[in-house]
Amino acid sequence: MAEPLTFGSRLRSLRDAAGMTQEQLAVSVGITPLSLLRYENDQRVPRWDDVLRIAKALGVSVAAFEESASDDDQGDDAPDLPPDDPPRGKRK
């Protein structure tokens, strides 16, 4: 059985697929390249707001970082956040 992918390995894979260097992604997200390196090496866990900015910079949903996401499915169909106010129908 294969080892489950970690957040860091998924991040590295998504960054590579986007054709970005660590420095390019770090600058785009507003973090230091050292922080990004530590995230990719699973030496540090990013804050949620950093995860949101990383996903946006990579053009993927945050679901792409979930354990159940496959290598081919980057979670592009999953929403990042729930809708603000769901539509309401008339009550009878």
Domain boundaries, the chain: 7-65
User: pLDDT at residue 89 above 70?
Assistant: no
User: pLDDT at residue 92 above 60?
Assistant: no
Q: Does domain 7-65 fall into CATH 1.10.260.40?
A: yes
pTM of the full predicted structure?
A: 0.70
What is the per-residue pLDDT for 69?
A: 56
Where residue 15 falls (left for φ over 0; alpha for ψ -120 to 50; beta otherwise) is alpha
What is the per-residue pLDDT for 17?
A: 94
